[in-house]
Amino acid sequence: MSESKSKLRELTIGKKPEFKKEIVEWEGQEFEIREPSVFVRGQIMNKSGMNVTNTDNPDINFSDAQIASVIYCTYVPETDERVFSEKDVPMLREQPSGSFVDEFSRVAMRLMNREPEEQAKN
């Protein structure tokens, strides 16, 4: 491997990934909302119905995108333990508008570099 290639690889895949994160307080408790990896972002997009083969007219389910982002991006602070799982989908779907689902997903979507409304439009 050339020295140039080694240097480029060292600067990219040779570094430990650093994910952006934000602490969100809800009812006196702290939750860590973490930027997803490329793979996890794909899982969130798949759960929301985004189809990469039809990018001109994607059929995205906004609430599924919110719920997936909450499941995949919400952690117990300073751990790798997710707070929610796929088993929680029915309960997350039943939360009122303006609840923690809206708040946590708004932060998660921002960390994915898109706001929920923008994600639904694109």
pLDDT tens for each residue of 35-54:
999 999 989 988 887 765 65
Among residues 27, 50, 53, the alpha carbon closest in space to that of 109 is found at 50
Per domain, the residue ranges of the chain are 20-121
- Quick check: 67 and 93 in contact, CB under 8 A? yes
Evaluated on CA atoms 7, 40, 53, 67, the torsion sign reads negative
**The predicted structure's pLDDT at residue 89:** 97
**Residue 115 reports pLDDT greater than 70:** no
- Quick check: 104 and 31 in contact, CB under 8 A? yes
Q: What is the pLDDT of residues 1-22, one digit of tens each?
A: 788 999 999 999 999 999 999 9
Task: Tell me which fold the domain 20-121 belongs to.
Answer: rbstp2171 (3.30.2220)
| Alpha-helical runs (H) found in the chain | 3-11, 38-47, 62-73, 89-93, 100-111, 116-121
User: How confident is residue 119, by pLDDT bands cut at 50, 70 and 90?
Assistant: very low
**The predicted structure's pLDDT at residue 122:** 44
The whole-chain average pLDDT of the chain stands at: 88
Cα(first)–Cα(last) distance of the chain, in Å? 40
**The predicted structure's pLDDT at residue 49:** 79
**The predicted structure's pLDDT at residue 59:** 72
